[in-house]
Amino acid sequence: MRQLAKTLERQEKILLSLSRFSYLSRSQIQIIHEIPSERTAQRVMQQLSKYVSSFMDGEKIFYLNAEGRKYTGCEKICKKMTTSRHYIMRNDLYIAYNCPDDWKNEMRLLYKDVNVIADALFESNGIRHIVEVDHTQKMQANKVKIEKYRKLLEYGVLKNIRLVWMTTTNYRKKKLLEMMGDIQGQVFTISDFH
C-alpha cells in the first residue's frame, strides 16, 4: 500500500513538472525526479502514457496531452514542434543551477518604455539571474533584448543581476558576450551540457 502511494506521488510530481516546463526529455525527468536508471524512467513514463505524449529528438521528449492537461489544470497546449528544443535548453539551465525553487518561466519585466519577457528568472546568493535561450533567434533580436536589459539597469529597476544565456554554437556565444559588454553574466552552449 505504501509503495502504491509513493508511485502515485512520483507520477503526480512528474505530471506537474510537465505542466510547469511544457517539455522535458527523459534524462531531464530522470534528474529532476531522481529516477536512478533509464530503464526505470522509461517504465514510469510508460505508466503515464494516458496523460503524456512523446516524440524523439535525440531522446524521448515528453509533454502533456489533453488528459494530462485536464489532470493538472494546465492550459498551455503543447505539440510536437521544433520550438520544443528551446524549452529543453532552458530546462538544462534549470538543472545546472540545481533546480531553484523560485525559478519562474516567461516573466515580463516592464518599466516605462521597456517591455521584455525573460525566458526565466531566479535568485541565487542574493543575485537575480535572468535566463535567455538563443536557439533559432536572429542575432539582431538578441541585441534588442540585451539593450532592453541595459536600459532597465540604467533606470535602476534591475540591480545585482546576472544575465545567463544558452546558445547553440561558440560563434553565437562570442557574439552574445560582445553584445553584453559590461553586463554581468555568462553564456553557455548546448555542448556544455551534452
Place of cell 522509461: 42
Model confidence pLDDT, tens digit, residues 133-187: 998 889 999 999 999 999 999 999 888 899 999 999 999 999 999 999 999 999 9
The CATH code belonging to domain 2-81 is 1.10.10.10
Query: What does DSSP say about strands 59-64 and 185-189: parallel, antiparallel, or unpaired?
Result: unpaired
**59 Cβ contact partners less than 8 Å away, ≥ 6 residues apart:** 25, 26, 27
Q: Is 149 exposed, middle or buried (0-12, 13-18, 19+ CB in 10 A)?
A: buried
CATH architecture of the domain formed by 104-192: 3-Layer(aba) Sandwich (3.40)
Boundaries of CATH 1.10.10.10 in the chain?
2-81
> Which residue ranges does the chain devote to CATH 3.40.1350?
104-192
CB 153 within 8 A of CB 128: no
What are the tens digits of pLDDT across the range 91-144?
Answer: 999 999 999 999 999 999 999 999 999 999 999 888 999 999 998 889 999 999
Q: Which of 70, 67, 74, 75 is nearest to 51 (CA)?
A: 67
User: Are the CB atoms for 79 and 68 separated by under 8 Å?
Assistant: no
